[in-house]
Amino acid sequence: MRVLLVEDEVRLAENVAAALREGPGYAVDVAEDGETAVDLAGNRCYDLVILDLMLPRIDGGGVLRRIRAAGDKTPVLVLTARAEKDSIIRLLNDGADDYLSKPFDLGELIARAKAQIRRGKGAAHPTIRVGDIEIHSLEQQVTRGGRPIDLSPMEYRILEYLVYRPRVIVSKRELLEHLYDYNWEHHSNVIEAHVSNLRRKLDADAAHPSIETLRGRGYRLAIVREVG
């Protein structure tokens, strides 16, 4: 998953970005002002926006309203030092999905980020079943037919993204956009290599294939996800 972190306090932004990358393994782009945030949100694909309110150029409230006015439905988690009831109500009415008061615990921030991404993909529970495949998103563990499957971090992220897009053909470009941040140096065959390894591990000893390849279009789960 790919997160846009909008925070002008450099040390805080570095700590939060590191926690999101090292914990759930999210790709993270950082914007240090509101104008950059609006530009990135309008031109790239994100699974979550974490938005501070006190920003230069355009404040967080303005960023939120512009994102929503553009029709962007990406979940937005607001970081705020303004814990007054009226301020929180205004943020939620403007389209925020959740908020966290500063100072905050990084563990709580990550838990809220995971929950927002999960709900944004239509999954209410952290354990997702796809046929005989079971994904435990909190521990990032996968089983098929009860057999534990050892996936690399990127293999897990690809599988998780496909699970969140049931019945949808996901292109290689879409996977690149959601799994890598803008500092990543592109290698054209990296997705194919990861998907090949993922399929080999999932399908060992299995009666049915897990992932379809649709030539020139992308990938799709061959098993239907149970929505929950």
Instruction: Please write down the long-range contacts of 146-149, taking CB distance under 8 Å and 24 or more positions apart.
Output: 147/205, 149/201, 149/202
CA distance linking residue 41 with residue 43, whole number of Å: 6
One pLDDT digit (tens) per residue for the chain, 228 residues: 999 999 999 999 999 999 999 999 999 999 999 999 999 999 999 999 999 999 999 999 999 999 999 999 999 999 998 778 998 999 999 999 999 999 999 999 999 999 999 999 988 899 999 889 999 999 999 999 999 999 999 999 999 999 998 789 999 999 999 999 887 776 668 999 999 999 999 999 888 899 999 999 999 998 765 544
- The single residue listed with the structure tokens 């920003």 is 55
Which residues lie below 8 Å from residue 59, measured CB to CB, with a gap of 6+? 34, 53
Phi and psi at residue 142, to the nearest 5°: -130, 140
Local structure of 122: helix, strand or coil? coil
Q: Give residue 69's pLDDT.
A: 98
Q: Give residue 184's pLDDT.
A: 75
Q: What is the pTM of this model?
A: 0.91
Q: Give residue 84's pLDDT.
A: 83
CA distance linking residue 32 with residue 57, whole number of Å: 10
Task: Give me the count of residues in the chain.
Answer: 228
Peptide bond into 75 cis (omega under 30): no
Tell me the domains of the chain and their CATH numbers: 2-121 (3.40.50.2300), 127-221 (1.10.10.10)
